Amino acid sequence: MSDTAPDIPRHVAIIMDGNGRWAADRGMPRRDGHRAGAESVREVVEGCKELGIDYLTLYAFSSENWNRPKKEIDALMNLLKRFLKEKTKEMHKQNVRLHAIGRLHLLPDDCRAALDNAIASTANNTGLSLILALSYGSREEIIDAASSIAKAAVAGTLDPDALDSETFAAHLATAPFPDPDLLIRTSGELRLSNFLLWQISYAEIVITPKFWPEFKKADLRAAIEEYSRRHRRFGAV
């Protein structure tokens, strides 16, 4: 890090990629990669708190991930449930408020119960907002928003001619949160993978070759420093 304090993004979003490849490189089962990735979640949450970041959105389980082998899905759901049960008290102690976006009704009942409990337990906290994208896909989110708008128009509570970007964004799952300023993707992949397609329209993007289990506080700080070197024009000169 340089001696000059970097500009700090208000909202960081992360595509946590590479757990399986990290495990394969070490001759380990994929579930061990997911377990190692949970430790990086803890590090990054702590790092965001230390840096003064207000919002952190983590792509934890995509809508496409339901197509993975059942054994891996079961392992991921068990890991999610264990993470929520073990970390809820810690999040509360650290003043972290938990949120979730996605088609949460598709989660197993025990996972959904653990998630609802963690959200309720941290609801009054005022520090970092941690947003887990679970059973989430941006195209599905946009479709759901369009459906909600269409129903409002049919009901006469929304004038279609008055529809603008702010009104549309208000129907997205992310309506309570500001758009991400910085998107980080691990594992070196150069794609968005159906993640926050509307919300990251003007986000800065940082790609790291490290797999997610290798991503630690120092890597977060390096990404923030890279972000701080960029001039965000938002279409202006």
Are 219 and 210 contacting, i.e. CB atoms less than 8 angstroms apart? yes
Both tokens assigned to 152: 């409002």
Are 1 and 221 contacting, i.e. CB atoms less than 8 angstroms apart? yes
- Mean pLDDT, residues 119-131 taken together: 97
Model pLDDT, residue 102: 98
Model pLDDT, residue 1: 42
Q: Which residues of 90-129 are buried (b: 16+ CB within 10 A; e: fewer)?
A: ebbebebbbbbbbbbeebeeebbebbeebbebbeebeebb
Q: What is the pLDDT of residues 41-84, one digit of tens each?
A: 999 999 999 999 999 999 999 999 999 999 999 999 999 999 99
CA dihedral 166, 171, 176, 178 (to 10 degrees): -40
Q: What is the pLDDT of residues 184-195, one digit of tens each?
A: 999 999 999 999
Query: Can you give the pTM of this predicted structure?
Result: 0.94
Segments making up each domain of the chain, as ranges: 11-138+179-228
Q: Return the amino acid letter for 111.
A: C
Owner of token pair 């653990």: 114
At the topology level, CATH places domain 11-138+179-228 in: Undecaprenyl pyrophosphate synthetase (3.40.1180)
Position with higher pLDDT, 4 vs 182: 182
Which residues belong to the active site? 17, 65
Q: Is the pLDDT of residue 4 over 60?
A: no
